[in-house]
Structure 1
Amino acid sequence: MLYLMGLWETIRDFLSTGGDVLYFVMGALFLMWVLMIERFWFLTAVFPKMKKNIIANWDSRKDTTSWYAHRIREAWISEAADKLNARMLLIKTTIAMCPLIGLLGTVTGMITVFETMATQGTGNPRLMADGISMATIPTMAGMVAALSGMFFATRLESQVKRARDKLIDSLPHH
């Protein structure tokens, strides 16, 4: 419990050093990871059952060679691909937003530095340093959030493509 309290204090200090924009970076990061975890769960727990059901439906058809059968096959593959690709665009969007939110933090931090310089002059280096850290920490946090998401989103995208291709291979069209 003491470890968690210390961890919370560290996070709180980091958030206060970087300014309020870090809460938005944290929110985007949380949303991105919830979406990616849901997609990994879908790929490992839900899609295999769906795939098995589609294959069973295809194998139970008497007609798999006619034009109509091929359209039905294409429709099933398309539905499965839509479900596989669901929320992938939102994941990519949150990844792209993280550095932009960090840049917003840079701008607000620099405004703080300029306000300090205007009101206190350049004689107080401590106040200027606080503003500069408020300008750089959100940028760093946004970039780290985006990099962590890019690696896993690329992996997730390749797994989605592989799952779709395996489904197509599992539905022979004679």
Structure 2
Amino acid sequence: MLQYLSPSFIAGAIGDYLEAGGPVVLALLVATFLLWTLIIERLIYFASTQRKLVKAKQDRWASRQDHSSWAAHAVRERLISEQRLSNEQFLAVIRVLILVTPLLGLLGTVTGMIEVFQVITSTGASNARLMASGISKATVPTMTGLAISLSGLFLINILDRRVSRSLAALEDSLDIQVQPKAAPARQEA
């Protein structure tokens, strides 16, 4: 059982997987590395840095004397907007990678099927061993792209919920005061 944890076994398994899936799997591996790097960065951000930024914005708001003028409302909106930008950093790139990985898998399917058709035209349909290699290159990238995309979808939903909750909590904490409207002056006839 411990042999499966050895670095040489893991490297061999990855090499076999890359060979079975063709060059598209390598592109998927790079996309996966980038996707998970960005997701982990966002999770670390929400676990540590985000709280500090929210606290700093709350302190900036609390230090203001005026909470009711038009300028105060503009400052409040700016603080919320700055936090939104910080919270949503890299989320668009994560979404793009989630959308691109199944398409890369589909590209692998097409290239694998082209290989199968080339084997059929050059050797006929009798060489099952050569056709199996092309079929493997057609199915492995598709499965890989879908698995990457599904795992990314799960985590982007978690990150989106954290963004929404964080912004709602910040908006609630930055209280505004409404100035009462002055009664209109009465004119005597």
TM-score by length of 1: 0.97
Specify the code of the residue in structure 2 equivalent to 1:64: H
Specify the code of the residue in structure 2 equivalent to 1:126: R
1:1-174 equivalent positions in 2, closer than 5 A:
3-174=6-177
C-alpha separation in 1, matches of 2:7 and 2:172: 49
SS at match of 1:63: coil
C-alpha separation in 1, matches of 2:29 and 2:172: 41
C-alpha separation in 2, matches of 1:131 and 1:173: 65
TM-score by length of 2: 0.89
Specify the code of the residue in structure 1 equivalent to 2:166: A
User: What are structure 2's unaligned runs of at least 5 residues?
Assistant: 178-189
**Aligned-pair CA distance for 1:66:** 1.0
**Aligned-pair CA distance for 1:132:** 0.5
SS at match of 1:71: helix
4+ residue segments displaced more than 2 Å: none
**Aligned-pair CA distance for 1:150:** 0.5
C-alpha separation in 1, matches of 2:169 and 2:9: 47
SS at match of 2:125: coil
SS at match of 2:65: coil
The structure that is helix-richer by fraction is 1
Aligned residues: 174
1:67-108 CA distance string (max 9 Å, x none): 111110101111110111111111001000000000000000
1:21-79 CA distance string (max 9 Å, x none): 00011111111111111111111211111111111111111111111111101011111
**Aligned-pair CA distance for 1:166:** 0.8
**Aligned-pair CA distance for 1:157:** 0.8
User: What are structure 1's unaligned runs of at least 5 residues?
Assistant: none
C-alpha separation in 2, matches of 1:11 and 1:116: 26
Q: Percent identity?
A: 41
Match in the other structure for 2:186: none
Larger Rg: 1 or 2?
Answer: 2
C-alpha separation in 1, matches of 2:47 and 2:72: 28
